[in-house]
Amino acid sequence: MSSKGPAARNRTSAPAGNGSDGEHSSIVLGPRDRLVGQLYVEGDLRVVGTVEGELEVTGSVEIDDGGKVTGPVTARDRLVVGRAGSLKGDVRVARLVVQDGAAFSGRVSMGKAVEAPPKPVEPAKELEPVKLPDAAKLPEAVKVPEVDKPVQPVKPVQPVKPVQPVKAVQPVKAVQPVKAVQPVKAVQPTKTPQAKGKRR
């Protein structure tokens, strides 16, 4: 008896510990509970009591069994308004379930754009600037600028000049001597002009 007793207690206390870790809490507002103000929950929320204010939940919200919410609701997962639930307020949710008999009025925005704003509680500690050491290492790696010198050898491109032989094409102009057909003296330069002239 005495040995089994503590083990059983440990097991029962474990789930309660999970709730307080803040990783995924589950809150229930009972029929006699009443919240006026703003509530942010990382986890799920079930409302059976009365809420007047703003609800923001990372998990699911369920309003049922006489639960009554007046105010905007944001649920990153699902909002369920049960047949005995009442919700009056604008809603931003990924999924929405309204059961027959529920009372619901307000603007509904659904879709993948439901990304809740940053967490209002517990921030700041993780914001320490770790970037400085990285910046110190960077300049060492950048010291490799030896690439400038080898750029000189680009000059020896001279061999391009041998284009001269193109001048040899000039002799074609020698066709001018066609006029020279009249004066017989022009025959001296080359024999070809004569031949052309006679053919005409």
Partner 1 sequence: MDVQEAVADSTAVASADDNGDAKRDGQRKFTMGPNDSLEGKLVYDGHVHVDGRAEGEFKVTGNLEIAQGATARISIEAANVNVKGQVEGPVTARDKLTLGKNARLSGDIVVRRLQIEDGASLNGHVRMGDIEQQGSGG
Please, which residue, 99 or 192, has the CB nearer to partner 1? 99
Q: Is 68 in the site for partner 1 (CB under 8 A)?
A: no
Q: Which of 11, 32, 107, 198 binds partner 1 (CB under 8 A)?
A: 107
Contact region with partner 1 (CB under 8 A), list: 31-39, 109-117, 132-140, 188-196 = 109-117
Q: Is 103 in the site for partner 1 (CB under 8 A)?
A: yes
Please, which residue, 18 or 99, has the CB nearer to partner 1? 99
Q: CB 72 → partner 1: shortest distance, Å?
A: 13
Q: Which of 95, 119, 179, 196 binds partner 1 (CB under 8 A)?
A: 95
Please, which residue, 48 or 93, has the CB nearer to partner 1? 93
Q: Is 104 in the site for partner 1 (CB under 8 A)?
A: yes
- DSSP codes of every residue in 59-70: S-EEE-TT-EEE
> Contact, 75 vs 61, CB < 8 A?
yes
Burial per residue of 103-140, b for 16 or more beta-carbon CB atoms within 10 angstroms, e otherwise: ebeeeeeeeeebeeeeeeeeeeeeeeeeeeeeeeeeee
Q: Which of 28, 36, 108, 175 binds partner 1 (CB under 8 A)?
A: 108
Q: Is 38 in the site for partner 1 (CB under 8 A)?
A: no
Neighbouring residues of 43: CB distance < 8 A, sequence distance ≥ 6: 24, 25, 26, 27, 57, 58, 59
Please, which residue, 88 or 179, has the CB nearer to partner 1? 88
CA 80 – CA 11 distance, rounded (Å): 31
Q: Work out the widest C-alpha separation in the chain, in whole angstroms.
A: 145
Q: Which of 100, 122, 140, 148 binds partner 1 (CB under 8 A)?
A: 100
Give the CA count within 13 Å in the CB-facing half-sphere of 92. 14
CA 18 – CA 92 distance, rounded (Å): 27
Please, which residue, 61 or 177, has the CB nearer to partner 1? 61
Q: Is 115 in the site for partner 1 (CB under 8 A)?
A: no
Q: Determine the 3-state secondary structure of 42 from DSSP.
A: coil
DSSP 8-state assignment for residue 115: -
Interface with partner 1 (CB under 8 A): 78, 95-111
